[in-house]
Structures are given as C-alpha cells and as structure tokens.
Amino acid sequence: MPKTPRIAVLGSINMDLVVRCAKLPMPGETLLAESSSEICGGKGANQAVAAARVGGDVHMIGRVGSDAFADRLVENLRNERIDCSNVQTTGNSSSGLAIVGVEESGQNSIMVVPGANGELSLEDVEKARPAIESADVLLVQLEVPVDTVLASIQVAQKAGVKVILDPAPAPMDVPEPLLEVDLLCPNESEAEALTGIHVKSETDAIQAAAKLQSCGAKSVVITMGDQGALLLDEAGNQMVNPFPVQAIDTTAAGDAFAGAVAVSWAQGRPLHEAIRFGNAAGALAASRMGAQPGMGTREEIEKLLETQ
C-alpha cells in the first residue's frame, strides 16, 4: 500500500458562480443562459480537494472573508477531510468569488474577484510554517499575492520539501525566484504568457519548456488538453498521452491534474508516471460538471488508467 503523502496547499478559496450557456458571449453581446449554480472552488481549494480525493493528507493554507460564503467554503473543505487550521478569516472582506461561464463544448471563461485571497500574508505563511516544513510536497498557484507564494516556496525549499507551482493566472511580471521550483506545470496559454512562445504543437511545447527550465525550474510539464502533456525533466522530454473523454466542464481539469500529480509523485512514482496519473485525473474532472464535485477518487482514476 503506498504511503499517505502529506500535501500542503497554499492558495485561493473561492465561491464559483457557474453559468451554463450554449456559447460564451462576444464583447457587447447579451445571451440567455441555461442555468446557474454556486459551487465551491478556487484554484487552491480545488487542488486541495483533488489531492485529498486521491489519498493525500492535505493541509490548506488560505483565507476566507466574513460573508455568507465563508462558512460554506470551509465546511466543504473539512468534509473532504482537509485540515483547515490555517484557513484564516478576514474581517470586513468578501470571500473570493469567480464568475464562470461554461459553454456546451465544455470550454469556459472565468473572471475572479480575489476578495480575502488578496489578504493572504507573510504572517500567514509564518503561522503555517510547521505544516509546510512537515509536508512531502507544497502545492501553490497565483490567485493569492505573489510575495506570499514566494515566502512559502522559500520555507519549503529550506526544509527540503518539493514544490509544485501551477502558474495560473500567469503574472505579467515574473520574479525570477518564482520559477525556481521542482515542478512547474502551466497549460498552453500560461506557457505562452511566460515565454512568448505560441504553444500549439509538441515542438512548440518543447521550446517553451526548455525556456522555462532555463529560468530555474527543475522540471516542466505543459498540459495541452486533448494532446496530453509535454514533460521535460532530467531524462529529456516526452509526451504523456491523454485520456479521451467527452468534455462537459474543463474549469478544474488543470487543478485535478496538479493535485493528483502532487500525491502520486510524493508517493515515490517516477515523474512521468505521476503525470500520467494526473492526466487521468484531469480527464475525469473535465467529463463532469463542477470544480470540486467533479474531482475523481483514486479508484476511479486507477480504473481509467487500466483502459490504456
């Protein structure tokens, strides 16, 4: 039986207001939508749930506001057996909010209001130091202040903890130390934003990954939707095949991927095997509605892995 890995997740906790429509509106266009729903989300919380569902012992580090969403957001994480002792409440602030439009193809468009996520501080990192230092992997994204993310990375690295950075949303200005992590996992658009290389093919992805590795990342994986993922590590580059599914909602496919990779890698699997596990997790999430509700369990992912 694989060990239970300890995963620390520092990141955003949002309420997603999801609107389903036949197609996403163009600028200036008004459309009648099919439905709306409130679903717990945020890249940090999504990745925490993904990691917990596949067997991680997960510790969440983040902030919620003092609004009606706050208790629901924290309770949802606790229901997934996630340690929320370092989820702080910010007074006189709203919780993070995301407006998510999802069209019939499964593609989405997202606007995020940071709210309390924007108040996650260096002091919060210091309070969470024991949780970070005792983790096998620290998983971070960029929906909280970059200085806070950098501080958590430094704590992890001094303690010998592996760091995975999902650079979303891709920053306009990238502090050099931010990319000096064990695994950097952008999607195609984020890789392009970070490198200036238009990523549409395996060749493009290899060039972009090499540039990101030259910026300090030990390993880089660029997720490419139905093309799979391009991994560049010390062994060279390789494409890791996708798992074809009927996409219904791709909102949290990348988060499912990151959380699953963190757990699999922390359990000692070679990185390319962890990426394959992550691809299966992302495919399952894309085939279901909702960010956190759509996350697969280890049993479901293993079953999908058996098909290829």
Q: What is the pLDDT of residues 197-226, one digit of tens each?
A: 999 999 999 999 999 999 999 999 999 988
CA distances from 306 to 63, 157, 178, 259, 277 (A): 38, 35, 36, 20, 11
pLDDT at residue number 112: 85
Catalytic residue from among 67, 124, 166, 255: 255
pLDDT at residue number 137: 98
pLDDT at residue number 298: 94
Per-residue b/e over 43-63, b at no fewer than 16 CB within 10 Å?
bbbbbbbbbbbbbbbbbbbbb
Q: Among 75, 8, 91, 83, which Cα is nearest to 40's?
A: 75
Which positions ≥6 away from 281 have C-beta within 8 Å?
Answer: 50, 54, 256, 257, 259, 260, 295, 296, 301
Amino acid, single-letter form, for residue 35: S
Residue 300 has pLDDT above 70, yes or no: yes
Q: What is the pLDDT of residues 80-108, one digit of tens each?
A: 999 999 999 999 999 999 898 988 887 88
Segment 238-256 shows an average pLDDT of: 88
Residue 252 has pLDDT above 90, yes or no: no
Listed range (7-11, 33-37, 85-89) with the worst mean pLDDT: 33-37
**Structural domains of the chain sorted by starting position, each given as residue range(s) with its CATH number in brackets:** 6-25+34-305 (3.40.1190.20)
Strands (DSSP E) found in the chain: 6-10, 14-21, 35-41, 57-64, 83-89, 96-103, 108-113, 137-140, 162-165, 183-184, 219-223, 229-233, 236-240
pLDDT at residue number 60: 98
Measured distance CA(259)–CA(274) in Å, rounded: 10
pLDDT tier for residue 31 given thresholds of 50, 70 and 90 = very high
Mean pLDDT for the chain overall? 94
Q: Is 255 a catalytic residue?
A: yes
Residue 2 has pLDDT above 70, yes or no: no
Segment 34-61 shows an average pLDDT of: 96
pLDDT at residue number 248: 82
Could you tell me which residue, 291 or 234, shows the higher pLDDT? 234
Q: What is the pLDDT of residues 135-193, one digit of tens each?
A: 999 999 999 999 999 999 999 999 999 999 999 998 888 888 999 999 999 999 999 99
